[in-house]
Amino acid sequence: MQPTDPHFEALLIYLKESRGFDFMGYKRSSLMRRVNRRMGQVGAATFQDYTDYLQVHPDEFAALFNTVLINVTAFFRDTDAWSYLSKEVLEPLLAAKPDDSPIRVWSAGCASGEEAYTLAIVLAELLGLEAFKERVKIYATDIDEEQLNEARQATYGDRELEAVPPDLAERYFEASNGRFAFRKDLRRSVIFGRNDLVRDAPISRIDLLACRNTLMYFNAETQATILGRLHFALRDEGVLFLGKAEMLLSHTTLFSPVDLKRRIFRRVPRPYARPGLTFTDTPETDNQAITGELDRLRDEAFAASPLAQLTLTSDGQVATTNRQLEKLFGVTSRDIGRPFRDLDLSFRPVELRRYVEQAQLERRVLRVADVDFQRGAEQISLEVQVTPLAGADGSLLGTTIAFQEVTASRRLKYELEQANQQLETAYEELQSTNEELETTNEELQSTVEELETTNEELQSTNEELETMNEELQSTNDELQNINDQLHASGAQLDQANGFLETVLASMEAGVAVVDPDLRVRMWNRRAEDLWGPRSTEVVGQHFLNLDIGLPIERLGPVLRAAMGPDGTGEEVAVEAVNRRGRTINVRVACTPLRRRDGGNRLEGAIIVMEVGSAEPV
């Protein structure tokens, strides 16, 4: 497969990815010619223009496929080859089979069905109608749905029917609306379905496989792949019927010529495990159509599996591949029939050959975890599972190898571990924070307790203070009362003093009052007038020390006598000098001052100084 023009290759990739039509394996020269023809019809100058055109006009796909997929066909195409096939090949083949055994036929690349109905006519002629209806199943497949729909109609015009010998046309076709329909009763034995020879799994256990004028559109490599699969599809001794222009250039080991000129070959048996490994041995039922559908369903289920998967035969040939496998490793259905050990995949990204051998030997499932694989720019992780497949009798049928991408789960696992670690750290931090908090809490609690105690103390102090306050208040009240009383007494005293002073001041004699120690307590105005010193100068002085005109030395005994325990009063007349220096006669009377309510206690003495009449003052 030589890439020709990168834009053309890009167009092929676009067709494959957008519509599932894989033209990569078709011969480039004729393919390009046909695409160019279609491009001319729609006015696209370059492959890029045409790719853009397809993107904008989805209907164009059908037109392109009609141009690319050449579906020229005819009843009994190459008549001679059909005669030879019938007489020289099918007759002995049918004779060799048990009378009631099923006969499975595959028309691969059947186009509008002429080849499939030709096969039906030939077999019906050989077997008879009843045996045909009972035993024969003709699977007719093509990639082109439009062609298949036409084939299902089984209705043809005059021109097509010209190729059918008249007697056969008479017996096998019924006139219908100016056209000719293949007999309904036989029609049921022909089953049409879509099958892409490049990508899809082959139908199995085939006795006769007609793949005519189809292989020639593929390049050598793709042809080889398809031939490997056709070999796989056939029973031992099954017959392959190719088109006149087709040569088996390679794979001569797979087929041996029966008649090279007519392109009829016989399958060379290979030590495959039973193909039923993948195309199961569903018991034959009356309704073979259902079986065919089920086969396709199983094949499609395998092809569409989200796991990249391949199956090996017991002798290590690639038996099936699927889309994920192609996507991941580029191993395609073209590799079917190749020895697994020849594929890069057998040792990259992991050495799988020994796992396959071990799984087969030990008859147990083996897992290879954490296989790193570079997918484009991306590094991914795979888990590979190698499973031996055993038949009901315990014999080894083959091995499946499944590749599961575990990048996301591995990353998740890693992230989970990280998250767990972070969680643990956070938990430890939380715990220590908790412990700190607990400590702080205890400290706070004890502080609270202390505060409570202080509060209680303060409260009791407060209560005490309140009590003291109350006491003080009452003391205060009492003091206030006393004060009031004192005030009142003071006022009385002031009054009495005032009165006394008035009395003393009004007296014509000088008066001095002394305390028991003879210190002057009172000194009236007349005494001031007589002797000179003012009351303020005298009060507090010792009377006998006063420096006045009185002969004090004479007064001392008198005073003492008057103040003696039995003293009642003494009088003495003395000569004195008044403040003006005049000599005067003074009669001094000393009277003790006793307290009547105090047990006659001596309070002092009253000294009255009266100037005699002979001498004026």
Ligand X SMILES: C[S@@+](CC[C@H](N)C(=O)[O-])C[C@H]1O[C@@H](n2cnc3c(N)ncnc32)[C@H](O)[C@@H]1O
**212 near ligand X (CB under 6 A):** yes
**Exactly one of 15, 111, 264, 586 binds ligand X (CB under 6 A); which one?**
111
Give 46's Cβ-side CA count (13 Å radius).
7
Interaction residues for ligand X, span 213-242 (CB under 6 A)? 213-214, 217
By CB under 6 A, name the one of 69, 318, 328, 546 that touches ligand X.
Answer: 69
Distance CA 38, CA 21 (A): 17
Q: How many residues does the chain have?
A: 617
Q: Closest Cα partner for 27 from 222, 211, 207, 189?
A: 222
Among the candidate windows 9-17, 68-76, 245-253, 284-292, which touches ligand X by CB under 6 A?
A: 68-76
Pattern 123-162, ligand X, x by CB under 6 A: -------------------xxx--x---------------
Cα within 13 Å of Cα(170), Cβ side: 3
Closest approach of ligand X to the CB of residue 15, in Å: 12
Closest approach of ligand X to the CB of residue 400, in Å: 25
CB of residue 238 vs ligand X: minimum separation in angstroms?
18
Q: Buried b / exposed e across 85-123, counting CB within 10 Å, b at 16+?
A: bbeebbeebbeeeeeeeebbbbbbbbbbbbbbbbbbbbb
Nearest approach, Cβ of 210 to ligand X (angstroms)? 7
The residue (of 73 and 189) whose beta carbon lies closer to ligand X is: 73
**Helix axes of 28-42 and 6-19: crossing angle, nearest 10 degrees:** 80
**Residue placing its CB nearer to ligand X in the complex, 197 or 607:** 197
List CB contacts of 374: < 8 A, sequence separation 6 or more: 349, 380
Q: What are phi and psi of 390, to 5 degrees?
A: -115, 145
When the beta carbons of 142 and 528 are compared against ligand X, the nearer one is: 142
Shortest Cβ 237–ligand X spacing (Å): 23
Alpha carbon separation from 405 to 32, 400, 429 (Å, rounded): 38, 16, 37
The reply on whether position 113 binds ligand X by CB under 6 A is: no
Using rule CB under 6 A, residue 243 touches ligand X = yes
Nearest in space to 396 (alpha carbons), one of 387, 405, 404: 387
Contact predicate 24/11, CB 8 Å: no
What is the separation, in whole angstroms, between the first and last Cα of the chain?
Answer: 174
Spatial distance between the Cα atoms of 182 and 508, rounded to a whole number of angstroms:
185
Q: How far apart are CA 131 and CA 125, in angstroms?
A: 10
201 lies in the binding site for ligand X (CB under 6 A): no
- Integer Cα distance of 104 and 281 in angstroms: 13
Kindly tell me which residue out of 11, 32, 71, 606 binds ligand X, with binding defined by CB under 6 A. 71
Smallest distance from the beta carbon of 137 to ligand X, in angstroms?
Answer: 18
Residue 144 vs 326, nearer CB to ligand X: 144
Using CB under 6 A, pick the residue from 32, 106, 109, 562 that binds ligand X: 109
Minimum separation from the CB atom of position 163 to ligand X (A): 11
Alpha-carbon dihedral sign for residues 357, 320, 333, 262: positive
Query: 225 vs 346, which CB is nearer to ligand X?
Result: 225
Stretch of 67-75, 356-364, 401-409, 547-555 contacting ligand X, by CB under 6 A = 67-75
Q: Identify the burial level of 510 via C-beta atoms within 10 angstroms of its C-beta, where 0-12 means exposed, 13-18 middle and 19 or more buried.
A: buried
Q: Say whether residue 73 binds ligand X (CB under 6 A).
A: yes
Q: Which lies closer to ligand X via its Cβ, residue 34 or residue 135?
A: 34
Nearer to ligand X, 160 or 383 (CB): 160
Indicate the residue among 213 and 309 with the shorter CB distance to ligand X: 213
213 vs 400, beta carbon nearer ligand X:
213
118 binds ligand X (CB under 6 A): no
- Binding residues for ligand X, per CB under 6 A? 69-73, 77, 109-111, 115, 142-144, 147, 196-198, 212-214, 217, 243
